[in-house]
Structure 1
């Protein structure tokens, strides 16, 4: 692999970021109906079951609910049309009966990969598409017959894995006479604001393989949003085909994807912060794309925009603690070893210094957490790299803010169970 200098790291990502932001089209979307996952250079055999069924509308064996039914809890950012946006948005609810099916509306991306699970079982995967219905739970689902009285109600959770694509919920279907059961939100919430590094670009399952996902799910018993999208800058300007930076887009329900342009043009709906749970911790990891000379963001513009943005985040979440992540920016090969790069080092520390007296802004130094082999061939963290960063952030938050680790069993990141069973190796 070629040395990853700070310059080459970003120059070489030009086509990668543009592919996601400006070249994605619905004509290409059917490619998502199958997937190739490489594991140490070897193809992993992945078969996603076909869960599609005929429409259940009016069926006597089902009880149907609209997308705004009481008991449905939408996770992450969804708009008023029940269309999902950004990274790893989800839907969770309790239910009675022995089956669950979901109808997806016309604004569902072709072949988008979703993860879903029953209760605390491992994640399952399937591809869904527009104007279709998929049965995701039945009596044969692993763990279904293991539900104890103390664990009731039965829960279902869905997450969208593909950050540039999404689903539209058109209806929920349960067994005949089945009921939705409200699952209360957790009292704490964390939000991660970022770009491709936080959205999980080139992770095995993208959004749900990212460090942002690992951090939030690893903490457990917390609500979370991952408002991250590949190629986006902090500064409000066009970067890699993204029409706006986070200083504009974070205040909108939708991201900067092509499908957002198709649905909303240049007038995406605002995100109603007052109608959603406030974040207690906000992690900001922005600047990788600003630092690329292709985007012509000056150090001065980045600094002033970051200072303003932190203030705006605090205005929306006045009780939140805000963590600024230092950019690791790839690795250089120096002589016979490797050295971690950096970007906007002074500027991010100046943002921290600007707010230090207020007490709600904190600086997280990433130096030494990742090594050069934690960066994949496409210049983004491997699954292992994401796990390492998430683990360090979890420990930082535990020590800094006295948050406990609440994840006590259910799978956090899918398909990471690797081991050597040769005792004499």
Structure 2
């Protein structure tokens, strides 16, 4: 994925709107929100964002409120399903230069243009959307979401930690793009699945997944509380769930038996929301070493978790054996997390696994670009 970093000056509303403009309020039903948004509305979790479909697009700005991360938040912007490029936005009015971000001259005339925007960071990732400002003769038309929807759940190995463009370069995001699917990523670096304190995370993913907020809420002075997430807001509902987690449980000395129980209980709770959807349980690809084999955690335990579900009659849980997917050449030497190329390799491996399983990418996006 190519990415350019653009740092935008903060424009005052008076300056930008000296020419007449169309102001789209944040409650407009033609804005398609994805991921976790609170009622301000503001984002939580990497990859949360929105999509709009615009006819006659010639100018675009985001009017952001005071809950936006200061001094800035990094967001990915894509036009017409093209590459995501990074923009740095702040509270106030942020003009987005269309041509410089890949929307060619003439491509935003009378035809419609799909605009996709999401927060990239695993932290410092809050944007508080007040309104979207378009050229006066632009028109919002419906965005039709894909009927294929991935829900990814994990930790730093799925959130894009240490990548230049964050989650937009991580393997879950890449898989979603290849499959022309909607993709929601709830992954928290440092968090265990077990609901324990871990590397600054005051809760584990088995708790936080069911909340609007990620674990950064604890350090957020204007929002240091959690609220239940209303899964009815996920429209359409996830069609496939992918879970890759456990590294931080192992680091916090959670035993094999404890981990299997927590994971099993987590799946049971997921089934109250996703009763029949396929759940893909990743084994660890391990921590690569410069010499010798990878070091692994909870070896054999993920198979037990899947076998437990099968024994209860839930045959729609599948083990994804990732052994051999990641080598030392695929990770940053100082932290053993996958590089940009490493995430691309993981995405390709999982895509091959999915296609062998029987899931093919969609031929096209349902909303014309």
Describe the superposition over 1:216-252 as per-residue Cα deviations: whole angstroms up to 9, x where unpaired.
Answer: 11211x1110000111110011111111111110000
Q: SS in structure 1 opposite 2:261?
A: helix
* Per-residue CA distance 1:268-327 (angstroms, 9 max, x = gap): 1111112322111100011000001xx232222111000010111121111310001011
User: Which residue among 276, 298, 303 is the counterpart of 1:349?
Assistant: 303
For residues 320-359 of structure 1, the aligned pairs below 5 Å read 320-332=277-289, 337-356=291-310, 357-359=313-315
The question of whether the paired residues in 2 share the 8 Å contact of 1:260 and 1:268 is answered with: no
Deviation at 1:49? 3.9
Provide structure 2 residue ranges, at least 5 long, that are not aligned to the other structure.
none
2:194 is paired with a residue of what secondary structure?
Answer: coil
Q: CA 1:241 to 1:143, structure 2 compared with 1: closer, same or farther past 3 Å?
A: closer
SS in 1 for 2:22: strand
Q: Distance in 2 between matches of 1:200 and 1:139?
A: 27
Q: Is the 8 A contact 2:163 2:340 kept in 1?
A: yes
Give the conservation status (yes or no) of the 8 Å contact 1:51–1:136.
no
Is the CA contact (8 Å cut-off) linking 2:75 and 2:87 kept in structure 1? yes
| Residue 390 to residue 144, structure 1, CA distance change in 2 (3 Å) | same
Task: Give 2:158's match in structure 1, choosing from 198, 213, 233.
Answer: 198
What's the offset of the Cα at 1:261?
4.2
Q: Distance in 1 between matches of 2:363 and 2:35?
A: 19
Q: Which 5+ residue runs of structure 1 have no aligned equivalent?
A: 1-44, 409-425
Pick one of 190, 206, 229 that aligns with 1:247: 206
In the alignment, is residue 363 of structure 1 matched against residue 319 of structure 2? yes
CA distance in 2, matches of 1:81, 1:363: 39
In structure 2, what is the equivalent of residue 285 of structure 1? 244
Match of 1:272 among 230, 233, 249: 230
Whole-angstrom CA distance in 2 between matches of 1:331 and 1:139 = 42
Please, what TM-score do these two structures have when normalized by structure 1? Answer: 0.78
Secondary structure in 2 matching 1:363:
strand
Query: Residue 119 in 1 paired to residue 80 in 2?
Result: yes
Is 2:63–2:130's contact at 8 Å kept on the other side of the alignment?
A: yes
Q: 1:161 aligns with which of 120, 125, 130?
A: 120
Deviates more, 1:256-265 or 1:305-314: 256-265
Match of 1:172 among 132, 138, 142: 132
Report if the CA contact (8 A) 2:188-2:205 is conserved: no
* Number of aligned residues: 355
- TM-score (structure 2 length as normaliser): 0.89
Task: Tell me the distance in 1 between the aligned counterparts of 2:52 and 2:186.
Answer: 22
Aligned residue number for residue 52 of structure 1: 10
Q: Could you say which residue in structure 2 is the equivalent of 1:225?
A: 184
Residues 142-192 of structure 1, C-alpha deviations (whole Å, 9 max, x = no match): 43434388x931221112111112211111111114322221111121111
Q: Within 1, Cα distance between the matches of 2:166 and 2:54?
A: 28
Q: Distance in 2 between matches of 1:361 and 1:395?
A: 18
Distance in 2 of aligned mates of 1:54 and 1:259? 32
Q: 1:19 matched to which residue of 2?
A: none
Q: 1:390 aligns with which of 347, 350, 357?
A: 347
C-alpha RMSD of the superposition:
2.3
